[in-house]
Amino acid sequence: RSILLLLVILALYINVALSAQAPDITLKDINNKSVTLSDLYSENVVLIEFWSTTCEPCKKQLPKMQALLDKYGDKGLVVVSIATDSARVMSKVKPYVNGNRYTFITLHDPDQKAWKAFHAPAEPYTIVVDKGGEVAYVHIGYNPGDEYEMESVVVNLLGIEGTWKKLTD
């Protein structure tokens, strides 16, 4: 019974977030450069992924996000990963990202500024923002195959056709 109540609350929470203007946050990337999310929203579809180096589902999802970027980056998709690791372990993020050859933008959020602004309930937490800066999609967690749904949302917002092909294991 309590699980059903939790699911209803989560469903209502997610519906409230959809069509809302995405928060305008400025964070530092792994090279210590400031990145303002609203600068990315204006001309791109932006997929935002909250994750941490200690989150195993996150580590399984990140290659899928890279595959989406590889496939649609030249068509207007920007992928932003926001690492929520504490300041104490933030030094592990850059080696992890570089070691896996991820080319998406990776931002640090050790103070949970973006986490709170996006009302992230858990990680991984995925948000897709349309070119108008509105939240078009949110997803909590990761199960193999979730990337197909994400791709469907992305291609719809980009106004193109696409078919997910298995690009990663």
User: What DSSP element (H or E) covers 134?
Assistant: none
pLDDT, residue 88, reads 85
Say if 49 falls within a structural domain. yes
Say if 9 falls within a structural domain. yes
On the question of pLDDT at 108 being above 50, the answer is yes
pLDDT, residue 168, reads 47
What is the per-residue pLDDT across 135-169, written as a single tens digit (0 to 9) for each?
A: 999 999 999 999 999 999 999 999 987 665 544 44
Q: What is the mean pLDDT of the chain?
A: 88
Say if 41 falls within a structural domain. yes
Residue 36 is classified by DSSP as E
Q: For the chain, what is the domain count?
A: 1
The enclosing domain of 54 has a CATH number of: 3.40.30.10
pTM across the whole model: 0.85
Residue 13: pLDDT band by 50, 70, 90 thresholds?
low
- Residues 29-42 have a mean pLDDT of 93
Say if 168 falls within a structural domain. no
Say if 128 falls within a structural domain. yes
Say if 169 falls within a structural domain. no
Domain housing 37: 2-158
pLDDT, residue 7, reads 52
